[in-house]
Chain A
């Protein structure tokens, strides 16, 4: 009995006069982990930016049955969509704890938010050690954890993650992927994961989409894409 949380229909998006996405149609099932794969420049980051309305968009986007293509980023966030952007987007001059507090800025339940902050520290003990430290001085892996933690402070229903493994050591990437598994299974957060590390992404996700120069060329269950000849050759290296 799977519900659709996010329905994207014929979405076009781009930068200025250049269109990067040419009619994307995607369905994200509630409670699932979906991964969006593709080479550099395929339009993966653009897709997430379009969903958060950080860029202009044409087409229909429905979140939990409500049309959101006309809404602003701030309003989409308030509906329960958290976006961890490429480059992490941490507030470098603010402290780790201040970054987390900002994550729950829109929440009215302040007591619950404080409890969530403690929960984040149990998920990411490294952040607890550095809670007063300036976020810009954290290591790459720690900043990625902080970015994810900040997004989780929203208690989002949908988490958009843009290349969380980028520039990180394999051990840290494993840690982060384990946490993603946990928050999906325990906290029931739906995840849309954009990744270049196709192997790890296909192991984690239930569904997968493959993007090539702004068009979807393949979609289905992750385990099916793992076995697909073309995918194996281009993205899995075997």
Chain B
């Protein structure tokens, strides 16, 4: 029974990481209707930046904060310089650009930081919290960080004028321009935020899966699945989807299939969900009038 609870709790911890990445995907999707395939590599790159800072002697939480800011800046720059020229190109072309970006980031990370697996420190103590057996301090801390992140984002979008402007720009760019919102910069901001969220996700998962240039590809896939399960246009759904996928992955891996086929079975299950509910659990089915 205890191991079961531990699997669920571990699932919630990794689920938080999937939820954050899924949220980043949905944010960019809502404002641009594109899936950012390079989201994982951005997060990985940011995590490496953090590792560099920590190795240079910077204290963890200072490095954490600097990384978030650096990731934000990187996201904004990428949107303004690389993505903006192809904003209105056909979907397939944009997908190729994203793939190009993915490959570039992966390759540069491998070149600068090498492909040897590195360990990444956790800011949380090694001993389990309060003597509990079914949860590690890192898992608890990771869940905590995720919740703080999601809460901050929710407050930003719901209660600040800039958050309102970003929501408006994502929904209706034309009307947004008519109230003076600089839609182009809202898109860049969205990318910056998504990159920042990804950096937090990367820093939370790196202690568990270890740091290497390919660490985020499986995670991105789960995040993609989580966003779709929740409904690609629903931020709340993406978050919930992330937790569901996290728990599902752990339970399946531990009790049903074993780690080899974990990924495949989880994905197949998600596809089954989508066959029953094609727009995801909370997605809106758009009825188009002929």
Contacts and interface: CB of A to CB of B under 8 A. Distances in A.
Contacts of B175: 85, 89-91
Dominant SS among interface residues on chain A: loop
Contacts of A78: 180
A105 B177 contact: no
Given A77-B178, A85-B175, A105-B161, 6 more contacts: A74-B182, A85-B178, A91-B175, A94-B171, A102-B179, A106-B180
A74 B176 CA distance: 9
Pick the most buried of A82, A83, A91, A102: most chain B CB atoms within 10 A of its CB.
A102
A89 B174 CA distance: 8
Nearest to A84: B178
Contact of A73 (B167, B171, B177): B177
Contacts, number: 58
A94 B168 contact: yes
Interface string A101-121: 111011000000000000000
Contacts of B174: 54, 85, 89
A41 interface: no
Interface string B171-207: 1101111111111000000000000000000000000
Contacts of B178: 52, 73, 77, 82-83, 85, 89
B167 to A, nearest CB: 7
Interface of B: 161, 164-165, 167-168, 171-172, 174-183
A92 B168 CA distance: 10
A72 B172 CA distance: 17
A82 to B, nearest CB: 8
B172 A105 contact: no
B179 A154 contact: yes
B180 A92 contact: no
B171 A105 contact: no
Contacts of A54: 174, 177
Nearest to A73: B177
Interface in A41-97: 52, 54, 72-74, 77-78, 82-83, 85, 89-94
A51 to B, nearest CB: 12
B171 A74 contact: no
A89 B182 CA distance: 17
